[in-house]
Amino acid sequence: MKCLKKFVWKMIKFCFLFLILFLIGATVYVKFSPKVQINTANNMILYDASDTVFFKGNESKEWVNLEDISEDLINATISTEDKYFYKHFGFDFLRILKASYINLKNGKAVQGASTITQQYAKNLFLDFDKTWKRKWDEMWYTLRIEANYDKDDILEGYLNTINYGHGKYGIENASKYYFNKSASELTLAEASILSGIPKSPANYSPLVNYDLAKERQYIILNLMVENEVITEKEMHDAYNEKLVFVTNSEEEELSTIMYYYDAVIDELESIDSIPDSYNDINGLKIYTTLDINAQRELEKNILENIPNESEIETAAIMMNPQNGGIVALVGGRNYNKSSYNRATDSMRQVGSTMKPYLYYAALENGFTTSSSFTSEATTFSFSNQEDYSPQNYNGTYGNKAISMAAAVAYSENIYAVKTHLFLGTDALINVARRVGITAKLEEVPSLPLGTNEINIIEMAAGYSAFANLGYKVEPHLIRKVVDNNGNILYEVDDNRDLVLNSSLAFILNNMLTATYDPLYIDYNYPTAVGLSSKLTHTYALKSGTTNGDNWNIGYNNDILCAVWIGYDDNRSLNTSEYKYSQNIWYKSIEAYEKDKNNEDVWYDVPKNVSAVFVEPISGKPITNETTKKKLMYFIKGTEPTVTDRVFDEILDKEQGS
């Protein structure tokens, strides 16, 4: 046992000696390496579609010198984040050992040990992936910063770049946002509340959770007492001081803009022509497709239509269908409460929004808007698997032949499955792949009912091929990237491939207006008939509903809007909650189109397409006895006639065929 203890002790001393020698060697190496530029790193400036700045990184007009920052704020930050900041060389080894012991004891990470320099390095140069490479890079950047800058420069940079919540980076911006005063004027109470936010802005912002922010403030004030920078009386006075927050600035920050920003950074990191070390160079100018008015309108409609007390989440985007440019993006209701970007990162069941891919495939395979199947309770039997009995919503059936247009209006599940099986289960997948759907799609009978999971951006890009009459687009947020020397590092390629028949896409788009057309009121109601009096422009629209998801995707030639709502834990929605998505959709797209003529944003009839009045439910040509008629579109030569059977199963049965 003595030998074992002796061996372990020798190994500990050896490792410690090796670490010291390694750090000495690394310090010498970085001292003679090119100086890392902390004042220009992360100088990313983001421009919207009109070339107006909407986000600045490290380059901020609100940068303040260390001597112009409240001493209480400085002391609070050091006491909280890095007690021995002025004594170590970038790493606090005793704190690392202590944190490692506590984390091992608890079986999970409950305490961190990053110094201010490490945090600054991470904020400036790195992403937040928890990989060994990122940790290794962080160590080198930390050493390079410590070797080339004095402590005051590092602390000043750190305080001017950290996140204080609500899109406010840097202490001067935060001071003005929360208290309408300069960082030099902060009281101990104000300084201690602000210094607690960076640990978790989503939790410790006093505007998000005041009670939790006060708990954090109490911990910080206690640490300041322990570090002998304030007295216990000053601590109690500061904790009990009434704080008055001032957030009614003239230009309130959009809370959802950070979802767009995060999506831009993700896209930037995926561009091969931008080097991995882009943050090291002298700044980047990133020109995006953002329409700030569309973003503002989308956020406003989300806030106004989903009750504040609800836990429902949302993802929504608006896209230019002609080129795939994303003009607005929301990844959740409140970035400060949850920075998880559901628009870019989540996959959800899409429900009946899958059906347009099927119905385009049907048109491509000889169906027309009048092609009919019988709406009736149906069980499908297969030789090699169990019977399948899909149901229409609310168990409503017409028990008669209905047209494809009527099936679209009611989102008929029976019609969809019959079409899917008639065409072959690969037909839908073929169309989906052509327009850009890469998600897993199984050749099963339920596929057109949207049992698969797809990302909202991918769905929007797929629908864009219908909206632009057949062209596949690549969804994107970045138009161009330029360095500070004016060199263009990247420019989006707007070339697009024709993957669908334009005339068939036109016919499909007109069918999708049936979802809110009162002419289709019969044994059932169109799924969005409540919008018929609210829409001032013509849109193709499809909704989709599963137990835990509700979608609305609609478009014209000018803009596409997709909205999803649901719970993060996949719990079921109740019927009254379905309206949230629809309201957000129509109010946002109508606001975008309010100053445009409908004739300019809808579609001209292709030369090889004819318009014929038909009875909307059956799809048959009108007669003298017809009470309702609807103008439908057909490829010339495929217009229905009175004698057409067009898949009328009841007639087939009566004639014994």
Average pLDDT, the chain: 86
Task: For residue 243, give both structure tokens.
Answer: 């704080």
Can you tell me the mean pLDDT for 219-230? 93
Distance between CA atoms of residues 621 and 432, nearest Å: 32
For residue 106, the model assigns a pLDDT of 52
For residue 657, the model assigns a pLDDT of 45
Helix axes 151-159, 116-125, angle to 10 degrees: 60
Distance between CA atoms of residues 399 and 52, nearest Å: 57
Between the CA of residue 583 and those of 246, 356, 534, what are the distances in Å? 32, 21, 10
Distance between CA atoms of residues 535 and 544, nearest Å: 19
Q: Count CB neighbours of 570 within 10 A.
A: 12
Q: Which residue has the higher pLDDT, 358 or 119?
A: 358
Q: Which residues contact 466 (CB under 8 A, 6 or more apart)?
A: 356, 360, 435, 500, 505, 508, 509, 540, 555
For residue 201, the model assigns a pLDDT of 83
Q: Which residue has the higher pLDDT, 212 or 334?
A: 212
Closest by CA to 46, choosing from 256, 262, 344, is 262
> Could you tell me where the beta strands, DSSP code E, fall in 277-413?
284-288, 313-319, 326-330, 348-349, 372-375, 380-382, 385-388, 400-403
For residue 110, the model assigns a pLDDT of 41
Percent share of the chain, pLDDT over 90: 61
- Whether the pLDDT of residue 101 is over 50: the answer is no
Can you tell me the mean pLDDT for 427-432? 97
Distance between CA atoms of residues 56 and 44, nearest Å: 6
For residue 292, the model assigns a pLDDT of 96
For residue 320, the model assigns a pLDDT of 98
Confidence of residue 192 (pLDDT cuts 50, 70, 90): very high
Distance between CA atoms of residues 568 and 240, nearest Å: 38
Closest by CA to 160, choosing from 147, 141, 181, 175, is 175
Which residues face 490 on adjacent strands?
481
* CB of 552 closer than 8 Å to CB of 580: no
- Whether the pLDDT of residue 188 is over 80: the answer is yes
Taking only the tens place, the pLDDT of each residue in 352-362 is 999 999 999 99
Which residues face 561 on adjacent strands?
318, 554
Report the Cα 287 to chain-centroid distance in Å.
19
- Whether the pLDDT of residue 131 is over 50: the answer is no
User: What backbone torsions phi and psi does residue 278 show, to the nearest 5 degrees?
Assistant: -55, -30
Taking only the tens place, the pLDDT of each residue in 529-543 is 999 999 999 999 999
For residue 12, the model assigns a pLDDT of 61
Closest by CA to 141, choosing from 275, 284, 36, is 36
Q: Which residue has the higher pLDDT, 115 or 572?
A: 572
- Whether the pLDDT of residue 36 is over 70: the answer is no
pTM score, two decimals?
0.80
Q: Would strands 471-472 and 497-498 be described as parallel, antiparallel, or unpaired?
A: antiparallel
Active-site amino acid positions: 81, 352
Taking only the tens place, the pLDDT of each residue in 477-524 is 999 999 878 889 999 998 899 999 999 999 999 999 999 999 999 999
Closest by CA to 598, choosing from 555, 538, 535, 516, is 538
Can you tell me the mean pLDDT for 445-457? 95
What H or E segment, with its residue span, contains residue 566?
Answer: strand 560-566
Q: How wide is the angle at C-alpha 35 spanned by C-alphas 31 and 38, nearest 5°? A: 125
Structural domain spans, the chain: 1-32, 69-253, 326-604
Q: What is the CA radius of gyration of the chain?
A: 30
* CB of 358 closer than 8 Å to CB of 424: no
Confidence of residue 330 (pLDDT cuts 50, 70, 90): very high
- Whether the pLDDT of residue 171 is over 80: the answer is yes
* CB of 598 closer than 8 Å to CB of 538: yes
Q: Would strands 453-454 and 471-472 be described as parallel, antiparallel, or unpaired?
A: unpaired
For residue 163, the model assigns a pLDDT of 84
User: What backbone torsions phi and psi does residue 325 show, to the nearest 5 degrees?
Assistant: -70, 125
- Whether the pLDDT of residue 632 is over 80: the answer is yes
DSSP 634: E
Report the Cα 12 to chain-centroid distance in Å.
48
CATH code for 69-253? 1.10.3810.10
Q: Which residue has the higher pLDDT, 614 or 334?
A: 614
For residue 226, the model assigns a pLDDT of 93
* CB of 509 closer than 8 Å to CB of 466: yes
Task: For residue 27, give both structure tokens.
Answer: 């310090």
Q: Which residues contact 361 (CB under 8 A, 6 or more apart)?
A: 423, 427, 428, 430, 431
DSSP states of 245-308 as a string?
-----SSPPPTTHHHHHHHHHHHHHH-TTS-TTGGGSS-EEEEE---HHHHHHHHHHHHHHS-T
For residue 497, the model assigns a pLDDT of 94
Confidence of residue 32 (pLDDT cuts 50, 70, 90): low
Between the CA of residue 365 and those of 22, 377, 422, 427, what are the distances in Å? 70, 25, 10, 9
Which residues face 544 on adjacent strands?
551
Percent share of the chain, pLDDT over 70: 81
Can you tell me the mean pLDDT for 119-147? 61
For residue 258, the model assigns a pLDDT of 87
The residue whose two tokens read 């499955």 is: 417
Confidence of residue 399 (pLDDT cuts 50, 70, 90): very high
CATH fold for domain 326-604: Beta-lactamase (3.40.710)
Closest by CA to 407, choosing from 374, 450, 452, is 374
Q: Count CB neighbours of 465 within 10 A.
A: 26
| Highest-pLDDT range among 257-266, 320-329, 332-341 | 320-329
* CB of 296 closer than 8 Å to CB of 260: no
For residue 272, the model assigns a pLDDT of 84
For residue 175, the model assigns a pLDDT of 94
SS3 string, 488-552, reads EEEECCCCCEECCCHHHHHHHHHHHHHHHCHHHCCCCCCCCHHHCCCCCCCCEEEEEECCCEEEE
Q: Which residue has the higher pLDDT, 35 or 399?
A: 399
For residue 249, the model assigns a pLDDT of 42
- Whether the pLDDT of residue 247 is over 80: the answer is no
Task: For residue 498, give both structure tokens.
Answer: 């024709």
Closest by CA to 586, choosing from 576, 594, 595, is 594
What H or E segment, with its residue span, contains residue 204?
Answer: helix 201-204
For residue 526, the model assigns a pLDDT of 97
- Whether the pLDDT of residue 566 is over 70: the answer is yes
Distance between CA atoms of residues 52 and 516, nearest Å: 38
SS3 string, 580-625, reads HHHHHHHHHHHHHHCCCCHHHHCCCCCCCEEEEEECCCCCCECCCC
DSSP states of 246-262 as a string?
----SSPPPTTHHHHHH
Q: Which residue has the higher pLDDT, 58 or 557?
A: 557
For residue 103, the model assigns a pLDDT of 45
Distance between CA atoms of residues 194 and 217, nearest Å: 8
Distance between CA atoms of residues 464 and 363, nearest Å: 18
Distance between CA atoms of residues 532 and 245, nearest Å: 44
Can you tell me the mean pLDDT for 95-115? 52
User: What backbone torsions phi and psi does residue 544 show, to the nearest 5 degrees?
Assistant: -150, 135
Helix axes 151-159, 71-81, angle to 10 degrees: 100
The residue whose two tokens read 């505007």 is: 207
Distance between CA atoms of residues 551 and 346, nearest Å: 14
8-22, 74-88, 442-456, 619-633: which has the minimum mean pLDDT? Answer: 8-22
For residue 209, the model assigns a pLDDT of 87
